[in-house]
Structure 1
Amino acid sequence: MRSTLSARHFGSTKTLNALVLGTLVLSGCASFSPDGGFDTVRETTRARIGADAQWVRSDEARKEIDTRVIELLAKPLAAEDAVQVAIYNNRGLRAAFYDLGISEAEMVQAGRLPNPHFSMLRTSRAENGVREFKIEQVLTFNLFALITMPLAVEVEKRNFAQTQRMTALEVARLASETRKAYFGAIAAEESVRYLRKVKQAAEAGAGLARKMAEVGNFNRLQQAREQGFYASAALELARAEQASIAARERLTKLLGLPSPQAIRLPERLPDLPKLPDELPAVEQTALDQRLDLQAVRLETEALAKNLGLTQATRFINVLEFGPARVLEGTRDSGYKRGYEVSFELPIFDFGGSKVAKAEAIYGQAVERAAEAAINARSEVREAYSAYRNSFDIAKHYRDEIVPLNKRIAEENLLRYNGMLIGVFDLLADARSQISSVNSYIESLRDYWIAQSDLQMALIGKPSLAAAARTSPASTGRPDH
């Protein structure tokens, strides 16, 4: 849409020249920050995750990070070390950091005046042996871009702040996925070790049953039962070994390493804490601290600013002014000097559809922001419930089931020594005890994964903050 403004709005030629000079000065003020906006991401990462984030943009920084990764991998990884390696070394995260550069470039661009336009007309004709000319030369500047620049810059600043939060959220997501993969890999390897013991016990039972059947001291049903125990144990072990390989490969990918052999893991999971974390105000904490909700709020505010800009530019979106000079006649007749103002006339389109679209987009963003808050409350409630339940289950295994099976095994061993039960009863009891320990390992793994999910639920969910960003084109500010 373009305006019916006339030249009288700009006053004298001196005033116009001053405006042109002012626009040039203001447009030169926009510049890039030394850190590219990454300091905010680094501080958020330290506060929320307790890890250090580095944006690798030089060979020197890359060598420093590689050295630090090698040092962390030289010993069995703790959970925090695994997270740190992933943040340093994951290439997908490094690529996500460049979103900051893209967003900052758009913000800086919004604060710069578009390049001036130069146009020239030259015609001539010969009459009575004299050649007459008509030459027009015009240099114009987009003054409308200066008028809308403060609003456009404000929109892009909010977009940049939103990008910073989304980048920090991506760091948190990687940290959460790494922690879960880390605990999953350790648990899988522990399960393999215990299932090997189960297989050994079953194999011993099947071998003994076969020998006893050969001498007529065991019937076929008893032998088949022991052989079935062994076959099932061998199958479970094969599945566990494949699951362990897959878990280690998943961790390897998140750490950005070329081979799983570079990873050294502890032999067992961390112990269950004495008490779970009590979070009575978990919902309010999530609403106050979640990065995705902050990003959604910033997006909605940016769209509100965008709506104001759209209303301001309903009838005007291109207004150019600049000095001009015209020569008519012979080459030595001299130039006439003046200025040129150009703009579009709102004859066919009065901007109603443009404003309606902006209002609809804003209304949509408001509803999505409300939905994001509702979803966040639900997610954090569900995550906290899973965390508490997984703690209770693991505690029950640790304090009740595993000790009970151990006492049963000790009593059966006494009875076996007293010849009150047979060797197959003892082997079956050993398999049961080992299986209960393996179930405790799985419940302990589930607890640590649930804790990671709870931490992520309090930080945010990347998909909620992945809404489309406001672009300069959608603000009504012309790009030319």
Structure 2
Amino acid sequence: MNTNTPHAAFKSRTVIVLISASIALGGCATFSKDGGFGAVQETAKKHIKQEVVWPKTESEKNKVTERVNELLSKRLDVEQAVQIAILNNKGLQADFYNLGISEADLVQAGRLPNPKFSMLYTRNDGDYKIEQILTFNIFSLITMPKMQEIERQRFVQTQKKTAFEVIKIANHTRIAYFNAVAATEQVRYSEQVKESAEASAELARSMVKAGNFNKLQQAREQNFYADAALDYANAKNKQVSAYEALSRLLGVSIDQLILEERLPDLPKSLTELQPFEKAAFEQRLDLQAIRLETDALAKQLGLTKTTRFINVLEIGPARVLEGPRSEPYKKGVELSFELPIFDWGTARVALAESIYMQSVNRAAQLAINAQSEIREAYNTYRTNYDMTKHIRDEIVPLRKKILQENQLRYNGMLISPFELFGDARAQVTSVQSYIESLREFWVADSALQMTLIGNENMMEGN
């Protein structure tokens, strides 16, 4: 028999139908133009004002570098620092590629597995046995729509998580910025305290030499100076740590950072709690993500129940030659599938049901936690506001007034210079307390805004 039988003779109606179905279904699975990044930008825009970009080409990366250098050439406020972090943080850029990974899974779910070709060839004294089989997994035609829907929801969930990463970087940068500015202010005032204590200690030393100051009083002044010197060294160390933390988020060295000299002032008014609570279920990305996860698991459960009896069903044309090569090929169809003799799929269904119900209960608990987190964050925010306002309006002015009054008494030689030095240090210390309280307020404000978007630990666990 001629082994070069025309390929058309090998076709059958089944092959034509399967190939047509493969092309039709496989052709629908394509990648989006923006890789799903547009949805990330849209979600981020609801929470932050900064531009979010995903530079892939060399030209796009160069534009980002130019923009970052332009921002660094000026004194940075907190919003500009956040913009640099979003543009330049390499960890965030790495997170963007989760979109590509997830979309690849979605596209793959919309494509049929490749057909399989197998061939057996044996020869014995002029007798041949040749089997040629081309099979297609037609069971994929049944499961493909559900698998696509599951992966589509997972892709949307990835978009939510990626948007959350953008907002998380923005929040961390805000806190790091406030820490760095406050640390610089604390260094400035710690230096003033140290200089005052040093002057007091030097005066005490001179007076002891003159014989009109006792050793105990001198030791006390020297102790004030020693403590002030330690506080100053500690403040300098905290400043370096705060700047390094900010530089890591921005992806630049600390010598490139020129920040504002003072923290922003307290806002004139505060928002009430109710709008924050109401916004929780509308805006929180972790709640949206877990809803998508639960929906996907529900569809996964449905798919598991559908496929519990059959895992693989393959069909395709086959032809077999047995005997001399002159004999004609025998044509037929190869069909294979798994028989549910030992495994009826009950374990898989029970597993899927348990995973689904686990997700349902986690979603319910997350909703409860969200309300509690917002109330707790708002209480911290409100308390820090009241405390900072009290220090600014009551304590700092009182310390300043005491210093001014004692300045007059010192001018009239009614008090010693050491009392004046002590009041000056107390006045500076009250300003330092205000700076620290103001820093805590802005950190609490950032934390409150974050509770409206999601819980970081929950998003990382999904």
2:143 corresponding residue in structure 1: 148
CA contact (8 A) 2:18 2:136 kept: no
CA contact (8 A) 1:293 1:465 kept: no
1:233 equivalent to 2:218? Answer no
1:216 corresponding residue in structure 2: 211
1:113 corresponding residue in structure 2: 112
Q: Percent identity?
A: 58
How many residues matched? 451
Q: What's the CA shift for 1:442?
A: 0.6
Q: What's the CA shift for 1:282?
A: 2.0
TM-score of the superposed pair, with normalisation by structure 1:
0.91
Q: What's the CA shift for 1:204?
A: 0.8
Partners of 1:432 and 1:466 in 2: how far apart?
45
Structure 2 SS opposite 1:48: coil
- 1:265 aligned to which of 227, 246, 259: 259
1:183 corresponding residue in structure 2: 178
1:375 equivalent to 2:374? Answer no
What amino acid does structure 2 have at the position aligned with 1:358? A
Moved more, 96-105 or 282-291: 282-291
1:172 equivalent to 2:167? Answer yes
- 1:298 aligned to which of 273, 285, 292: 292
What amino acid does structure 2 have at the position aligned with 1:158? Q
Matches within 5 A, 1:80-479: 80-126=79-125, 131-257=126-252, 259-467=253-461
2:20 corresponding residue in structure 1: 21
Q: What's the CA shift for 1:17?
A: 3.6
What amino acid does structure 2 have at the position aligned with 1:449? V
Matches within 5 A, 1:34-73: 34-73=33-72
Structure 2 SS opposite 1:323: strand
Structure 2 residue runs of 5 or longer lacking an equivalent are: 1-11
2:9 corresponding residue in structure 1: none
Partners of 1:415 and 1:65 in 2: how far apart?
61
Partners of 2:122 and 2:417 in 1: how far apart?
114
CA contact (8 A) 2:76 2:260 kept: yes
Partners of 1:393 and 1:112 in 2: how far apart?
61
Partners of 1:467 and 1:351 in 2: how far apart?
29
Partners of 1:284 and 1:318 in 2: how far apart?
49
RMSD of aligned alpha carbons? 1.4
Partners of 2:223 and 2:121 in 1: how far apart?
99
Partners of 1:286 and 1:224 in 2: how far apart?
58
The CA deviation string for residues 316-357 of structure 1, in whole angstroms up to 9 with x for no partner, is 110011111222333233223222211111111111111011
What amino acid does structure 2 have at the position aligned with 1:224? A
CA contact (8 A) 1:210 1:223 kept: yes
Partners of 2:108 and 2:14 in 1: how far apart?
26
Q: What's the CA shift for 1:367?
A: 1.5
Q: What's the CA shift for 1:19?
A: 4.1
Partners of 1:380 and 1:68 in 2: how far apart?
36
What amino acid does structure 2 have at the position aligned with 1:156? E
The CA deviation string for residues 344-403 of structure 1, in whole angstroms up to 9 with x for no partner, is 111111111110111111111112112222222222111111111111111111111111
Q: What's the CA shift for 1:15?
A: 6.0
TM-score of the superposed pair, with normalisation by structure 2:
0.95
The CA deviation string for residues 263-296 of structure 1, in whole angstroms up to 9 with x for no partner, is 0011111111111222313223112211111111
CA contact (8 A) 1:202 1:230 kept: yes
Q: What's the CA shift for 1:23?
A: 2.7
Structure 2 SS opposite 1:281: helix
Structure 2 SS opposite 1:113: coil
Partners of 1:307 and 1:96 in 2: how far apart?
29
Structure 1 SS opposite 2:452: helix
Partners of 2:282 and 2:92 in 1: how far apart?
25
Structure 2 SS opposite 1:464: helix
Partners of 1:357 and 1:91 in 2: how far apart?
38
CA contact (8 A) 1:322 1:340 kept: yes
Partners of 2:456 and 2:110 in 1: how far apart?
29
Partners of 2:457 and 2:427 in 1: how far apart?
43
What amino acid does structure 2 have at the position aligned with 1:241? K
Partners of 2:302 and 2:278 in 1: how far apart?
32
Partners of 2:369 and 2:294 in 1: how far apart?
17
Partners of 1:111 and 1:362 in 2: how far apart?
24
Q: What's the CA shift for 1:47?
A: 1.6
Partners of 2:339 and 2:415 in 1: how far apart?
102
Structure 1 SS opposite 2:326: helix
Structure 1 residue runs of 5 or longer lacking an equivalent are: 1-12, 469-480
What amino acid does structure 1 have at the position aligned with 2:171? S
What amino acid does structure 2 have at the position aligned with 1:179? R
CA contact (8 A) 1:69 1:89 kept: yes
CA contact (8 A) 2:14 2:316 kept: no
CA contact (8 A) 1:122 1:133 kept: yes
Q: Which runs of 4+ in 1 moved over 4 A?
A: none
1:472 corresponding residue in structure 2: none
What amino acid does structure 2 have at the position aligned with 1:147? I
Q: What's the CA shift for 1:55?
A: 1.1
What amino acid does structure 1 have at the position aligned with 2:381? Y
CA contact (8 A) 1:169 1:461 kept: no
Structure 2 SS opposite 1:333: coil
